[in-house]
Structure 1
Amino acid sequence: MPEQPSISFHGAAGTVTGSCHLVTLGESRVLVDCGMFQGSKSEKELNYRAFPFDPRRIDAVILTHAHIDHSGLLPKLVKAGFDGPIFATRGTIDLCSVMLPDSAHIQEMEVETLNRRNAHRGRKTVEPIYDAADAARTATLMRPVELKVWQEAADGIRFRLWNAGHLLGSASIEMEAGHGTPVRLAFSGDIGPHHKLLQYEPEGPSAVDYVITESTYGNTEREELDDAARLKALKREVDGAYRPGGALLIPSFAVERTQELVADLMFLMQEGQIPHCPVIIDSPLATRASEIFLRHARDLENGEQLARAFRSRNLRFTETVEQSKSVDHIREFHIVIAASGMCDAGRIRHRLKNWLWREEGTVLLVGYQAAGTLGRILAEGASTVRIQGEEINVRARIRTLDVYSGHADAEELTDWVRARSPISGGIFLVHGEEPQIAGLAARLADFLMEGQVIPPRLDSCYRLAKNGKPVLVSEAPAPRIEPMLMGSRDWHNEFQSLVLDLQHDLMEAADDRQRGVILRRMRRALSE
């Protein structure tokens, strides 16, 4: 009997981030993505733990795209002993050449700050997940692959890439695993929506046995917007944010989202639809990523529009810390685009500390906000937040604009999966929170048989058969994280919320006697 392949889900299972799927056939082991967990502190702690597999036994990695939740743990994999090829498109490799060193720098800086605090508190020091040297070694293992060209990854496992329409260089993966009559799999990666400014429509193979698809917006239907409608929506937000001496802050992913926003903002200014004003890209990573986008402009839809936008006199860049700090001294209305897109790191936090408490400020959220991140907390209407240990009242306008999402919505995802038909085995729903997964599963049930749609748990493993349903082989005996904490707020979030509520109640109390009553009640509740 021929060997049957299996697939294990070591990330993006029950949550949106940490994409990492292991395909095994006999002694061959191929990893699809190796991404970083983002979101709550409980999820991010997974990045520091050992992999649930031996990196030294992995033959190859196939990378769908450069976003950190898909590529961010590659240097950790290399640090742990992996030395095989990392296959990806040229665009993905070029973006990783700036994103992975940036990720290493952020970790080194954050750990340095944490260790100073730990030293003051008498706690043990910690090490970064990886450093710049690990990121540099990772770059030497990357191998460019053209779209739609078959490539062997390991004995009995071959693949080819299809445009995913999500990001410069992003790809879906068609894989064949097995000798003789192989099992055929399609990994969606992240699928882009229709009418994306810089990307062509996503593609993919048909007549596969299994589909592993993202479900980030699997239960969300957006109004389908063409270019004119998208520009109109952005104009409305800029007009609403305009205040003399005010600022529009846009937390944005440094790669693709920033470039799309710049292209549209400059177009609106050139057409006289919004006031001319400074637009500052306050992110060294976004600056370097933009240079890569311009080098690949011929490969992008509307690449010439992007090139024109980056020649605008209204566009400014900050590289040094001093240049970034100088943004706080701008007195005219201005727009700042800064990482990170979920407000959980980077320079946007400094801009938010300066503007959240001011009515002249507007924060425009233009991308997905994972549970537990500062961006999600702001989107949910928090009146007070803590940033770098400082309590800040939220008086600025908080707005959400979903027309720049890099992900297909429920209808678009359903159409993409349907186009992979006939699907003989099953569909695994990954890269989504529980309500989105459930919504997409209900849609797919309309044209699939009962039991074909599976939401895998973290570290679960399934045996894959040709023309048959997948069989659950094993689940982790001791979960790396409680399932209830995946894709949701954790105790760190609840603790911060409790502290802020307590401080608010104490400040609003009539007098010191009443404050004493509140504290005694709190102590009594804790003792019980």
Structure 2
Amino acid sequence: MKISFHGACRTVTGSCTLVETDDTKILVDCGMFQGSKDLKELNYGEFNFSPAEIDYVILTHAHIDHSGLIPKLVKKGFKGTVIATKPTTDLCSILLPDSGYIQELEVERKNRKLARAGKPLLEPIYTHLDAKRALMFFSTLDYNLKVDLTPTISIRFQDAGHILGSSIVEIWAKENNYETKVVFSGDIGNLNQPIIQDPTVIEETDYLVMETTYGNRLHKNIGDKQELLLQIIESTFLRGGNVIIPAFAVERTQDLLYYLARLDFEGRLPDCKIYVDSPLAISANEIFKVSVKYFDDETKAAFDKIWESPGILQRIVMTRSAEESKKLNEVRTNAIIISASGMCDAGRIKHHLKHNLWREESSIVFVGYQAPGTLGRQILDGKKQVRIHGEQIAVNAQIYNLDGFSGHADQKALLQWFDSFKRKPKEVFLVHGEPEGMEVFKNLLLERYDLEVHMPELYQTFDLRYGQVKTYDIEGPTEKDIAYIYANIINKLSELYKTNLERQEIKQLYEKLKSIENAI
């Protein structure tokens, strides 16, 4: 068995890992790169493998950074099967066409400029019709069922506790009477989250591919996030402002509605309207309502009494149309506006930020990960002015980061999940994390256990056959490689400036950056 890494290498985006045996090729995830402009450019290049040769895509969950390039894979010749849980498949049925619409709108905007300049026009990565066609390749598999894909390869999904339908993937491969097991963590969720189950304990594996989104961080407000949210709402309304919450359409929006419904049921939520201003989130809500069997016991018991109570339903306003969304710009106080995108890089949330970010009386509440280079990250990092729709907007609102709402396990929870293995992996491959967090988590594992820990580079390949690991050097630097490395150095430089580290390290990075610029 060989595995090669085609995304989420020292960055939190673009998850995609190729698993190869003598007769089968499997992708675990096929995600889109998000964040900085340089990372996004990677979505336009060719795959570094032949899509027509891929037999299966094993999809850990529906988030676009894990599923978003499946339509492109189909467009480029994939004819195999995409295997996912039913909730993941249902969520992809709304997320992928929406992503296709976004690609079309983005290219349409760029092509207007290119046409005026007399330059060649671009094609979208894929269209909404490409995305709908890709859904025809999906097949569902429930949790805890071990199935044979071929006579030599078996897989099983376990609940990752990240979002509805999210999975840990177990893969067994037999070659020459030798069986190798690899576990892909997917995105590991926080413990004691509403709606979803806690991450499943995995007892044993030979090799582990593990996410490290928060490898160097602890969530600060896990236990009291509902109370903190209430305090923010109360203080904002006393100032005469609105509470603006950038939230991912899937899971974060539903978590927030659950907590707001609980506050309303307890009679503690101030008089207000709750606007869900995201057609995608509204559609996701409908999928959640028919997926109750996947909820944890607490949420199942509270579903009708709290989440569907008449009181909260009277407060919630679902705004599907653009006209309804625009009217929210006139609302000055006592409104909670939950809108996408979660990182503020696109969608209706940018309009709500434009009309509230400059107001001292309003509050902006972040409840999820903000990737480097995104508008959300700029605001969290303390920029005094940000650019929205071509206009400089002052950041005067109160800014909050309730990372206890995050769908990702923090460092403590990641270690706890790893510790639960009765037979630890021989080797670990860390992915889906920023370099600093990965390095910290790698050192923690090395201090505690006698094992090998890798931080793969983009396109790096490892041969896992017969219990021996051989690393293949990365061939060549392609233009895609250079753009990827360039983007990561830019992000690193940005972090160094903000933390005021020694100038010598910055100088060395500048020299490296200069050499890459010359190569480009």
Q: Same fold (TM over 0.5)?
A: yes
- For the residue of structure 2 that corresponds to 1:453, the secondary structure is strand
The answer on whether the counterparts of 2:13 and 2:432 sit within 8 Å (CA) in structure 1 is yes
Deviation at 1:122, TM superposition (A): 3.1
Is 1:248 matched up with 2:243? yes
Aligned CA-pair RMSD: 2.1
Moved more, 67-76 or 482-491: 482-491
| 1:340/1:424 CA distance change after superposition, 3 Å | closer
Deviation at 1:330, TM superposition (A): 2.0
2:461 corresponding residue in structure 1: 461
The answer on whether the counterparts of 1:248 and 1:361 sit within 8 Å (CA) in structure 2 is yes
The answer on whether the counterparts of 2:427 and 2:453 sit within 8 Å (CA) in structure 1 is yes
| 1:489/1:260 CA distance change after superposition, 3 Å | farther
Correspondence 1:114-133 to 2 at 5 A: 114-133=110-129
Is 1:103 matched up with 2:103? no
Is 1:449 matched up with 2:450? yes
Q: Distance in 2 between matches of 1:153 and 1:243?
A: 59
Correspondence 1:252-331 to 2 at 5 A: 252-301=247-296, 302-306=299-303, 308-311=306-309, 312-331=313-332
Correspondence 1:279-428 to 2 at 5 A: 279-301=274-296, 302-306=299-303, 308-311=306-309, 312-428=313-429
2:107 counterpart letter in structure 1: V
The answer on whether the counterparts of 2:242 and 2:332 sit within 8 Å (CA) in structure 1 is no
| 1:491/1:447 CA distance change after superposition, 3 Å | closer
Q: Distance in 2 between matches of 1:367 and 1:351?
A: 18
1:522 corresponding residue in structure 2: none
- For the residue of structure 1 that corresponds to 2:186, the secondary structure is coil
Moved more, 122-131 or 365-374: 122-131
| 1:304/1:343 CA distance change after superposition, 3 Å | farther
Is 1:188 matched up with 2:185? yes
Q: Distance in 2 between matches of 1:343 and 1:448?
A: 39
Correspondence 1:467-486 to 2 at 5 A: 467-468=467-468, 470-479=469-478, 480-482=480-482, 484-486=485-487
Q: Distance in 2 between matches of 1:303 and 1:183?
A: 38
Q: Distance in 1 between matches of 2:149 and 2:40?
A: 30
Deviation at 1:106, TM superposition (A): 1.2
Is 1:21 matched up with 2:17? yes
Deviation at 1:64, TM superposition (A): 0.3
Name the % identity: 41
Q: Distance in 1 between matches of 2:461 and 2:150?
A: 20
Q: Distance in 1 between matches of 2:35 and 2:303?
A: 31
- For the residue of structure 2 that corresponds to 1:238, the secondary structure is helix
1:49 corresponding residue in structure 2: 45
With normalisation by structure 2, the TM-score equals: 0.90
1:33 corresponding residue in structure 2: 29
Moved more, 400-409 or 293-302: 293-302
Deviation at 1:424, TM superposition (A): 4.6
Describe the superposition over 1:366-386 as per-residue Cα deviations: whole angstroms up to 9, x where unpaired: 110000000000000001111
Q: Distance in 2 between matches of 1:341 and 1:9?
A: 26
The answer on whether the counterparts of 1:59 and 1:154 sit within 8 Å (CA) in structure 2 is no
1:434 counterpart letter in structure 2: P
Q: Distance in 2 between matches of 1:216 and 1:399?
A: 20
| 1:493/1:118 CA distance change after superposition, 3 Å | farther
| 1:466/1:419 CA distance change after superposition, 3 Å | farther
- For the residue of structure 2 that corresponds to 1:242, the secondary structure is helix
2:167 corresponding residue in structure 1: 171
Q: Identify unmatched segments of 5+ residues in structure 2.
A: 499-520
Q: Distance in 1 between matches of 2:418 and 2:466?
A: 19
2:234 counterpart letter in structure 1: D
| 1:195/1:424 CA distance change after superposition, 3 Å | closer
Is 1:148 matched up with 2:149? no
Is 1:76 matched up with 2:75? no
- For the residue of structure 1 that corresponds to 2:130, the secondary structure is helix
The answer on whether the counterparts of 2:221 and 2:402 sit within 8 Å (CA) in structure 1 is no
| 1:487/1:341 CA distance change after superposition, 3 Å | farther
Is 1:433 matched up with 2:434? yes
| 1:173/1:491 CA distance change after superposition, 3 Å | closer
Q: Distance in 2 between matches of 1:491 and 1:150?
A: 42
Q: Distance in 1 between matches of 2:492 and 2:446?
A: 35
Deviation at 1:357, TM superposition (A): 1.7
Deviation at 1:204, TM superposition (A): 4.1
Describe the superposition over 1:115-164 as per-residue Cα deviations: whole angstroms up to 9, x where unpaired: 12222333332111101221111111111101121223345222111111
Match of 2:231 among 222, 230, 236: 236
- For the residue of structure 1 that corresponds to 2:471, the secondary structure is strand
Q: Identify unmatched segments of 5+ residues in structure 1.
A: 498-528
